[in-house]
Amino acid sequence: MAVISGDGVFSHVFIGAADVDASAAFYDAALGALGVKNLGPFGNGWILYGRDKPAFIIARPGNGEAPSSNGVTIGFAAATTADVDKFHAAGVANGGTDEGAPGARSHLPGAYAAYLRDPAGNKICAYTFTDGN
């Protein structure tokens, strides 16, 4: 299976969190396992993540309502199956809950993934693709 690279479709992803500090601790660990860094806070309480520029943002929702993301999953690219395993372990150890243990996924040839819920209830995953065997 070919993996498409290049410029993405999104400028960024923003998710709401009622407790930004708890979510930041979770994402520092889980995304850190994938080489994604906490780029620091932004003036209005946002926490920015990325490799070289902000691409993923967590913050309290701007409209003041409770965050809700049922039915939405955000997927992060992992370089190796070991990185997927580290992502899952780091997330569970830092306030996340298991939504699908690391392993092969039958819906795509060579897919290896793990799913988590962050402390705010947002569903995320990490995926990599092997040679399909």
- Give the H/E segment covering residue 23: helix 20-32
Tens digit of each residue's pLDDT (9 = 90 or more) over 54-110: 889 999 887 788 887 666 889 999 999 999 999 999 999 999 999 999 999 987 888
The CATH code belonging to domain 13-59+72-129 is 3.10.180.10
pLDDT above 90 coverage of the chain, percent: 58
* CB neighbour burial string for 9-32, b if at least 16 within 10 angstroms, e if fewer: eeeeeebbbeebeebbbbbbbbbb
Domain boundaries, the chain: 13-59+72-129
